[in-house]
Chains A and B, each alone.
Chain A
């Protein structure tokens, strides 16, 4: 009955350890996805991300994961850079094509305060969804220098030093969060529990 969450492993710069630990704490079973055939075994997919947009896409291509991620019907959650690569284009270390699952661009944060934006911030849910269920009043940990520019799939907005940005997106069963749920205390564990529910539902339908 329980569903298996696949955490995509690509390149050397992974924060897989802490994501795996947090999903397990939320009651989920994790399989680290190392090869293309691993995708078949899992019910949903988490794309972590530490590093730069161009490097991340390069590594995803090298691993042969790009086409699978573009065509899968399984519920998907992108975290931080993992959310950014869902976009069509990124502008970190040059212009790079993303997965294109969300019509968005990724650009550096333009504001008066220090960048990277680091710290806990609240989220303003503008379009509620299963992932954010019960988390409307919580704060999450952000650690980023780039932001997703999108107008069509915004789930929540957040604010840093007066600058509003997209803190989470949702389109069908594709979810992306700019913050790090694995670094956001109990609120983050609850978000993973919500994603586990999404994957069970996704599994039933699929």
Chain B
């Protein structure tokens, strides 16, 4: 089975930034420029996450999303600060194919997942899980890794599948932006707990890290951010390396 190679753009409008542990932001470029670059390199999908929309309680910036969508002929997922069916609807009309939700569903109202799935179809509803290891378990965080929710990651993953989510974006607060490898245990537990596709993010520091994750966890997709932003490694390099290592990707 093919593994999707997905680019994640962490956006603090108007720039894509590189967070380390979800903090310490560095400006990397505009979302539309960077999305186009990765599209041309052969990315299978783009995830656009406005990392401050939820934290600052403001609505995600619409124009930048439309501009980014216009550059792409591959699936485009958008998230950050989504809290209503109207938000979902607006983002689809701006060119998003999937909408990513976290904070509102975890903190306020998980039933928005089922409502959105019924209206827009499961395939269009992605739930972002920000996991942090506490003792021997993982707990869900919100607001870009800042707020502890008390919810157990595995229980939440099973719950959101039941509620009709079509996909999980799994991020790790512990490994995000450090480029020292994925949290393999976390990824494996989540992938094995649900039947919906899981896109694993947070931690790609080398081609070996990506290969290691796919071989051990077999996720539906891998989301890569920091590793690509300095142009040392491209999507072309990743796909070539994985193909050489007998891992199926689309070319």
Contact = CB atoms under 8 A, between A and B. Distances in A.
A18 B77 CA distance: 13
Interface stretch (B23-31, B68-76, B138-146, B170-178): B68-76
B167 interface: yes
Contact of A161 (B1, B73, B221): B1
A15 B73 contact: no
A185 interface: yes
B250 A182 contact: no
A118 B220 contact: yes
A116 B92 contact: no
Contacts of B220: 114, 118-119
Nearest to A119: B4
A81 B121 contact: yes
B166 to A, nearest CB: 5
Q: What's the interface size class on B, roughly?
A: 20 to 34
A13 B166 contact: no
Interface stretch (B10-18, B93-101, B181-189): B93-101
B167 A188 contact: no
Contacts of B4: 118-120
Contact of B118 (A52, A120, A183): A52
Contacts of A113: 1
A141 interface: yes
A197 B198 CA distance: 39
Given A50-B92, A116-B196, A145-B166, A13 B97 contact: no
Contacts of B97: 15, 18, 50, 143, 180, 183
Interface in B204-251: 220-221, 250-251
Nearest to A12: B89
Contact of A114 (B75, B95, B118, B197): B197
Contacts of B69: 17-18
Nearest to A185: B73
Q: How large is the interface on A (under 10, 10 to 19, 20 to 34, 35 or more residues)?
A: 35 or more
A89 interface: no
B73 A119 contact: no
B200 to A, nearest CB: 13
Contact of A184 (B1, B73, B194): B73
B118 A93 contact: yes
Interface in A171-192: 180, 182-186, 188-189
Interface in A92-128: 93, 113-116, 118-121
Contacts of A51: 119-121
Contact of B123 (A55, A118, A185, A189): A118
Contact of B74 (A21, A55, A141): A141
Given A14-B92, A17-B94, A183-B74, A116 B119 contact: no
A186 B39 CA distance: 11
A116 B93 contact: no
A18 B197 contact: no
B148 interface: no
Interface of B: 1-2, 4, 44, 69-70, 73-76, 89, 92-95, 97, 118-124, 166-167, 194-198, 220-221, 250-251
